[in-house]
């Protein structure tokens, strides 16, 4: 049953890629917020979240398995904080702008991270418990 380890490796690469793209998109968001001159407390709170995501990405890049659960938590928190905000939807209703594209792409990206990290962690756990043969 060699396909399970291959699937696990493909999932890991997909998760890693989404985490890296999240860091890049977060940097773009910070640049947009800085240009919009949002309140400093908002900018620095988003910057702190981005720094946490950057640390997760560094952990993933260095092969640390323990970086995946924090990535899942950060994605959930990101969506929980951003989706309820009505001001995030007003640019999208007036047409596609850089801000609305960033919001849409970021939200879809976080959903992808949640789905892939969850799948990866479940499959990894099943494999470690011996439910799935290693190779």
* C-beta separation of 47 from 29 below 8 A: no
Given a cut of 60, whether residue 2 has pLDDT beyond it is no
- Per-residue pLDDT reduced to its tens digit, 40-83: 998 999 999 999 999 999 999 999 999 999 999 999 999 999 88
SS3 29: helix
Residue with tokens 């999208």: 92
Given a cut of 90, whether residue 91 has pLDDT beyond it is no
Percent of the chain at pLDDT > 90 equals 61
């Amino acid at each position: 049953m060699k396909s399970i380890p291959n699937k696990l490796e493909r999932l890991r690469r997909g998760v890693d890629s989404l985490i890296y793209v999240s860091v890049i998109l977060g940097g773009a968001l910070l640049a947009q917020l800085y240009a919009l001159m949002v309140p400093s407390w908002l900018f620095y709170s988003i910057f702190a979240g981005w720094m946490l995501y950057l640390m997760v990405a560094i952990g993933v890049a260095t092969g640390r398995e323990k970086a995946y659960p924090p990535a899942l938590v950060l994605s959930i928190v990101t969506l929980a904080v951003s989706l309820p905000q009505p001001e995030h939807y007003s640019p999208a209703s007036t047409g596609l702008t850089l801000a609305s594209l960033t919001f849409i792409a970021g939200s879809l990206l976080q959903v992808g991270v949640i789905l892939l990290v969850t799948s990866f962690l479940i499959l990894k756990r099943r494999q470690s418990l011996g439910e799935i043969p290693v190779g």
